[in-house]
């Protein structure tokens, strides 16, 4: 049985991007970082992944300092290496460069005692796309409220 514990979800990514495809990747963390992740001290809001020298790296992911650590603590926003198979990395790099897409972390979770990041191949939304999504969401809420009040009136 696979035990999965979601630590954080990047809701801003779903608002700012059209997610075309998702990929699961491992992440290289130090001891104090994994302890802080397990405690929930992670923020993926401004994070992004980018290929450098044939490897994928996660930038701007904020993992809070671990309070119980001494002077061996980590830097909160350091670049972190992502672990994928070579074929996956090569295909991602090809996809990102050809189609002018970006790679954003969608969520970070613990799966079988290891930290994983779900990356999304994404295309940026325009302002009118964001407004349209907000209007659609509010219309659905209004419909739900109407149905709920109709059921109460019966």
* Phi/psi at 30 (5° precision): -85, 175
Question: Which residues, in sequence order, are CB contacts of 104 under 8 Å at separation 6+?
Answer: 10, 13, 17, 47, 48, 49, 119, 120, 122
> Around 75, how many Cα atoms within 13 Å sit in the side-chain half-sphere?
6
The residue to which tokens 């460069």 are assigned: 97
Asked if the model's pLDDT at residue 83 lies above 90, the reply is: yes
Domain 4-125 indexed as CATH 2.30.110.10: no
Residues 106-134: pLDDT tens digits? 999 999 989 999 999 988 888 777 888 88
The confidence score (pLDDT) of residue 3 equals: 81
Residues 20-62: pLDDT tens digits? 999 999 999 988 888 888 888 899 999 999 999 989 999 999 9
- The structure's pTM equals 0.79
């Amino acid at each position: 049985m696979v035990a999965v514990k979601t630590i954080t979800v990047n809701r801003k990514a779903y608002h700012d991007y059209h997610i075309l495809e998702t990929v699961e990747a491992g992440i290289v963390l130090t001891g104090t970082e994994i302890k802080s992740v397990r405690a929930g001290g992670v923020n993926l809001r401004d994070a992004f992944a980018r290929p450098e020298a044939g490897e994928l790296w996660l930038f701007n992911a904020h993992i809070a300092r671990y309070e119980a650590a001494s002077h061996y603590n980590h830097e909160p926003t350091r670049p972190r290496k992502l672990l994928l198979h070579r074929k996956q990395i090569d295909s991602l790099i090809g996809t990102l460069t050809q189609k002018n897409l970006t790679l954003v972390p969608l969520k970070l979770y613990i799966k079988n005692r290891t930290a994983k990041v779900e990356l999304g191949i994404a295309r940026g939304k325009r302002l009118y796309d964001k407004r349209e999504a907000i209007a659609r969401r509010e219309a659905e809420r209004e419909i739900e409220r109407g149905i709920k009040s109709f059921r109460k009136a019966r």
